[in-house]
Amino acid sequence: MSESSPAIVSKQEGDLTVVRFAASTVKANEYTIRASQELVRLAQETGEKVLFTLENVQFMSSFAIAALVSFNRTLRERGCELKVCCVPPEIRKVFKATQIDRTLELFDSREKALAAFGPNT
């Protein structure tokens, strides 16, 4: 992935913003720093409902996890909701061991996360 490529991919689907990492491995390097910066910007610009999918992510560094938690905090401060879906089992284990599963709303599937937003999503 080149330095000019986005680290975060987002798209608007009605009143929902769907977000994902552009790479399947999110290590602690320049990519993760760029992803963190992009999440900070996105948190200020996005709508009220945000779905972050980890569907294709195979590895997340602690820095990437911290960026996701910070993204959630900023969204909440703005009155927005974040749901995280399609969390791979190995990453879910890390979230549970570090108790991040108490901070982030995690869902096994996109459908379950969408249902948690309510009937108009």
The first and second tokens of residue 12, run together, are 């608007």
Which residue in 65, 75, 118 sits closest to 96, CA to CA?
Answer: 65
Q: What is the pTM of this model?
A: 0.91
Distances (CA, A) of 15 to 31, 47, 59, 94, 96: 28, 7, 29, 31, 30
CB neighbours of 103 closer than 8 A, spacing ≥ 6? Answer: 69, 72
SS3 7: coil
Q: Quick: pLDDT tens for 47-97.
A: 899 999 999 999 999 999 999 999 999 999 999 999 999 999 999 999 999
Whether the Cβ atoms of residue 70 and residue 100 lie closer than 8 Å to each other? no
Does the residue 97 lie in any domain? yes
Domain extent at residue 18: 8-117
User: According to the model, what pLDDT value does residue 85 have?
Assistant: 98
Treating both helix axes as pointing N-terminal to C-terminal, what angle do 30-45 and 62-77 enclose, rounded to 10 degrees?
10
Which range, 32-36, 87-91, 115-119, is most confident?
A: 87-91
Does the residue 2 lie in any domain? no
Does the residue 1 lie in any domain? no
Q: Quick: pLDDT tens for 3-23.
A: 568 899 999 999 999 999 999
| Tally of structural domains, the chain | 1
- What CATH number is attached to the domain comprising 37? 3.30.750.24
Does the residue 41 lie in any domain? yes
Backbone angles phi, psi at 11, to 5 degrees: -145, 150
